Structure 1
């Protein structure tokens, strides 16, 4: 008989009385649980622990929950994420959903409601995974983004552009997704670092500038007069398309 492995839940929460309470009740339901008390640890545990579900606070030390959410969504669009936060306005919830959260529960909360939402998210994720497995390669739609004379194939990691046919690195693909998903909006260098690399502090903004220079060489007809990757003096960059 095949052994059924417990599903894994990552709780990113800096208040110990909440995180330990969630861990206890989730373990009683049969889940394997890990706690991350701050943003950078949360990102590291997401990579190492490979959870089936993430419970995410918004106001966290080191790196805020929305930046963590955006960072994860650049690499994984399917993992269910539930925000659990004291930020309870309609604007807060809308911001969470716009950035890709699956569900949003405000503090204080009822434990039974929380556990029902967890079960619902995991059930839905399992159904979606089963549907994806049923697809044949011929039925899969390639994730291709076209702008001007350029096209980016995110599935295969290639691009056809002014520089010719090129292969893109994992980090280049991640940053391109970030720019495209925020097209028309100014992205400050600090925010690009937080979302693109998961760094809250301590990394030079020149890291971002160097990648933008590279993108201009790839995708701009005239890199010295960029039409797509546009600088906003003393702030950051905007992808204009």
Structure 2
């Protein structure tokens, strides 16, 4: 029987951490707990453990969850990260996504929903794990190609000219899929917040603009003069697979 993945819980609220550890172990997962952000980051930057996913609180002593996920991505460490945020602070959600988190869950959360999100991350995390080549590798079955670029939604990768491959977070892939599904249409910023990121509260839409800047670095020949992901002033954005003259 295959060993269940190792889940790292970074949470300083003792009662919440112990509840998570108990329920994760009851589901058969291996667990490791850190209550201090700086200590957790030191471990994550140096460990050789085969980590399945990280449950990461935002407010931590030592270093915040935002700082941790940002430094992990800066070091090209792509452990799947599920951020635990205060539901009353939707700005936390957007800052976490901008930092490179894969998903988020607002506190207080339903335990069943946490396991649904966790299992989704684990299913889609194989792209960052080294593995032996298969004798007959299967091609990506969920992809979209435009202007020499291919988004592989099932493996969370984006191929670009020059054999460049960019690893996508789950939220980046979800937003790109939303644009692909609405190609040519105007997508308002509020739709991105509510339909893609599930943020239903009154949130500063400038956070969306900051996120778009990163996506343009992935898909544009010249991010400063976008041809595919164009701004519709005062409303939102439009994705154009084939740029207009």
TM-score by length of 1: 0.52
1:103 and 2:103 equivalent? yes
Corresponding position of 2:163: 141
CA deviation vs aligned residue, 1:182-210 (integer Å, no higher than 9, x gap): xx9xxxxxxxxxxxxxxxxxxxxxxxxxx
Higher helix proportion (structure 1 or 2): 1
The equivalent position to 1:39 in structure 2, one of 37, 53, 57, is 37
Q: Give SS of 1:54's match.
A: strand
Q: How many Å apart are 1:90 and its aligned residue?
A: 2.8
Greater RCO (CA < 8 Å, at least 6 residues apart): 1
Matches for 1:42-81 after TM superposition, within 5 Å: 42-46=40-44, 47-48=46-47, 49-81=49-81
Kept in 1: contact 2:85–2:93 (CA 8 A): no
Rg: which structure is higher? 1
Cα-Cα RMSD: 3.4
1:122 and 2:122 equivalent? yes
Moved more, 120-129 or 94-103: 120-129
CA distance in 1, matches of 2:77, 2:43: 17
Q: Give SS of 1:33's match.
A: strand
Q: How many Å apart are 1:128 and its aligned residue?
A: 6.7
Kept in 2: contact 1:7–1:51 (CA 8 A): yes
Q: How many Å apart are 1:143 and its aligned residue?
A: 6.7
TM-score by length of 2: 0.51
Corresponding position of 1:89: 89
CA distance in 2, matches of 1:81, 1:10: 10
- Listed as ranges, the gaps of 5+ residues in structure 1 are 145-180, 185-241
The equivalent position to 2:28 in structure 1, one of 27, 30, 35, is 30
Q: How many Å apart are 1:51 and its aligned residue?
A: 1.6
Relative distance call for 1:32 and 1:97 in structure 2 (3 A) is: same
Q: Give SS of 2:125's match.
A: helix
Q: Give SS of 1:52's match.
A: strand
Kept in 2: contact 1:85–1:106 (CA 8 A): yes
Q: How many Å apart are 1:40 and its aligned residue?
A: 1.4
CA distance in 2, matches of 1:14, 1:57: 8
- Listed as ranges, the gaps of 5+ residues in structure 2 are 139-160, 167-209, 214-245
Kept in 2: contact 1:10–1:54 (CA 8 A): yes
Corresponding position of 2:113: 113
CA distance in 1, matches of 2:128, 2:60: 30
Q: How many Å apart are 1:65 and its aligned residue?
A: 0.9
CA distance in 2, matches of 1:33, 1:81: 15
Relative distance call for 1:76 and 1:28 in structure 2 (3 A) is: farther
CA distance in 1, matches of 2:101, 2:16: 20
Relative distance call for 1:107 and 1:82 in structure 2 (3 A) is: same
CA distance in 2, matches of 1:21, 1:61: 20
